[in-house]
């Protein structure tokens, strides 16, 4: 393990940025299509549900303080079974990284750089992720902290300009809530982004104090932010329009007018989304590399980083054919798939933990 | 084709570097296996038959449910 310390503020910014990241651009349109004008309720309830589910991992972290995710599974299950669980966790982290890059590729090729080959974006982001992983968790935390004031300023600016085109009539008719759309259809959001939280256990030992509480706070702030963004999109673009666009937030920023001579600020707005994506990628990549290093007793993180980046870049190219296929897959399978690492594995670890404790006493 | 060539080149250069640095054999084997996985995936992408992780997961979930 590294000899590093993270402040509560650094950890909080990592949690918020990682929770928001890709969901911030990808999900609002999908949620509005399902839950119409009540879509802003979805991030709130799924946020609470996701955080509730992650309490399983938090309980384990409280029982095994000062050790990370992989060490917990090794201590509870022993060497062989612990390694099997670790491989599952590493696989999930690789999948998340591939997904993030795939979403990034989709976004960049559809909107900003339409003539660039898509693997280039992933390669550029992964190069920096490799570098930051070699530098360690403190460098990553400081980078996140550095971006906080900049992002707060940009978000505040964006929200203040967007309010100019606000129209309350987009929330009408205030009819009966579509429960089907708000609850069952949108339940996939519990998994993405809230069930990815198991990765945070990796850096719990480095946080100065009360990492569990900070994590809960960060996730709920992330959920509220996602709700606010969805609310803003409904109020500005309207339900019908927002549900037919792949990236409604991008379209909204294209149409905003700061002044008659300053318009088309989508490039600037996209940059702060890219920062969120970059931090999620960097953090999950760091966790995957550290996990492999611990599972296979490797001393040098750089030795694993480069081949892992090649693997992730390769897999990210074949995740989905297009964004529609991506969303369809997400709606159908992501909750079950993420449940393995966020429900089944921690539940198994807790049961084994109780059995072994009872045997000892 | 370009990502395949680039990844192959980077892998070989780094392998030579780590061998010169006298890294333990176990670490070099893990490095080779992981690099091979990535390079094979790029090769499969060239012939349009890549490993699709979501498709594998979907198949597994469909069988289990």
Q: How far is it, in rounded angstroms, from Cα A348 to Cα A299?
A: 29
pLDDT in tens, A241-271: 999 998 998 998 888 877 777 777 788 888 8
Residues 6+ apart with CB under 8 A from A298: A292, A304, B27, B30
Whether residues A307 and B31 touch (CB distance < 8 A) is answered with: yes
Which residues on chain A are in Cβ contact (under 8 Å) with B39? 310, 314
**pLDDT for res A149:** 92
**pLDDT for res B51:** 93
Answer yes or no: are the C-beta atoms of A103 and A22 closer than 8 Å: yes
- A8-360: CATH architecture: Up-down Bundle (1.20)
User: What residue spans define the domains of chain B?
Assistant: 2-64
Nearest to B58 among A119, A292, A333 (CB): A333
**pLDDT for res A283:** 95
Q: How far is it, in rounded angstroms, from Cα A223 to Cα A145?
A: 20
Structure tokens at A9: 């503020």
Q: How many angstroms away from the CA of B63 is the closest CA of chain A?
A: 12
Whether residues B53 and A123 touch (CB distance < 8 A) is answered with: no
Answer yes or no: are the C-beta atoms of A214 and A13 closer than 8 Å: no
Low-confidence ranges of chain A (pLDDT < 70): none
Residues 6+ apart with CB under 8 A from A255: A165
DSSP state of A194: G
pLDDT in tens, A105-160: 999 999 888 999 989 999 999 999 999 999 999 999 999 999 999 888 988 888 88
User: What residue spans define the domains of chain A?
Assistant: 8-360
Could you give the 3-state DSSP secondary structure of residue A17? helix
Distance of CA A345 to the CA centre of its chain: 20
Of A336, A235, A280, A331, give the one whose Cα is nearest residue A34.
A331
**pLDDT for res A4:** 87
- Which of A296, A318, A332 has the most B C-beta neighbours within 10 Å, making it the best mutation to test the interface with B? A318
ipTM, two decimals: 0.96
Cβ atoms < 10 Å from Cβ of A119? 20
DSSP state of A110: I
A7 forms beta bridges with: none
Whether residues A310 and B10 touch (CB distance < 8 A) is answered with: yes
DSSP state of A197: G
Give chain B's largest Cα–Cα span. 51
Whether residues B54 and A313 touch (CB distance < 8 A) is answered with: no
Nearest to B53 among A95, A304, A308 (CB): A95
**pLDDT for res B32:** 95
Pairing of strands A257-259, A262-263: antiparallel
């Amino acid at each position: 393990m590294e000899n590093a310390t993270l402040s509560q503020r650094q950890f909080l910014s990592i949690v918020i940025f990682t929770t928001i990241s890709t969901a911030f651009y990808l999900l609002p349109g999908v949620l509005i299509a399902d839950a119409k004008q009540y879509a802003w309720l979805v991030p709130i309830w799924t946020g609470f549900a996701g955080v509730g589910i992650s309490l399983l991992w938090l309980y384990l972290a409280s029982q095994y303080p000062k050790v990370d995710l992989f060490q917990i599974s090794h201590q509870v299950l022993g060497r062989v079974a612990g390694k099997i669980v670790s491989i599952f966790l590493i696989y999930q982290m690789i999948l998340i990284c591939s997904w993030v890059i795939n979403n990034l590729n989709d976004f960049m090729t559809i909107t900003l750089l339409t003539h660039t080959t898509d693997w280039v974006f992933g390669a550029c982001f992964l190069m920096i992720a490799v570098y930051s992983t070699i530098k360690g968790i403190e460098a990553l935390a400081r980078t996140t902290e550095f971006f906080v004031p900049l992002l707060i300023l940009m978000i505040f600016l964006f929200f203040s300009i967007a309010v100019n085109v606000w129209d309350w009539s987009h929330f009408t008719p205030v009819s009966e809530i579509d429960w089907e759309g708000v609850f069952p259809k949108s339940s996939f959001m519990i998994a993405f982004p809230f069930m990815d939280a198991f990765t945070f256990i990796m850096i719990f030992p480095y946080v100065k104090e009360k990492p569990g509480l900070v994590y809960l706070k960060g996730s709920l702030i992330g959920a509220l932010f996602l709700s606010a963004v969805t609310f803003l999109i409904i109020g500005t673009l309207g339900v019908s329009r927002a549900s037919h666009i792949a990236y409604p937030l991008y379209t909204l920023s294209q149409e905003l007018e700061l002044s008659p001579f300053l318009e088309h600020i989508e490039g600037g707005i996209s940059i702060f989304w890219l920062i969120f994506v970059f931090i999620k990628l960097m953090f999950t990549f760091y966790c995957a590399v550290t996990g492999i290093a611990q599972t296979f007793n490797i001393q040098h993180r750089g030795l694993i980083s480069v081949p892992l980046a090649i693997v992730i870049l390769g897999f990210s190219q074949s995740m989905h054919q297009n964004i529609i296929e991506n969303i369809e897959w997400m709606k159908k399978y992501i909750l079950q798939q993420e449940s393995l690492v966020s429900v089944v594995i921690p539940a198994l670890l807790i049961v084994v933990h109780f059995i072994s404790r009872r045997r000892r006493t | 084709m370009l990502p395949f060539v680039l990844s192959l080149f980077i892998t070989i250069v780094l392998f030579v570097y780590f061998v010169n640095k006298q890294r333990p054999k176990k670490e070099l084997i893990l490095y080779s296996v992981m690099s091979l996985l990535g390079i094979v995936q790029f090769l499969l992408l060239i012939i349009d038959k890549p490993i699709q992780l979501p498709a594998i997961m979907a198949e597994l979930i469909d069988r289990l449910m």
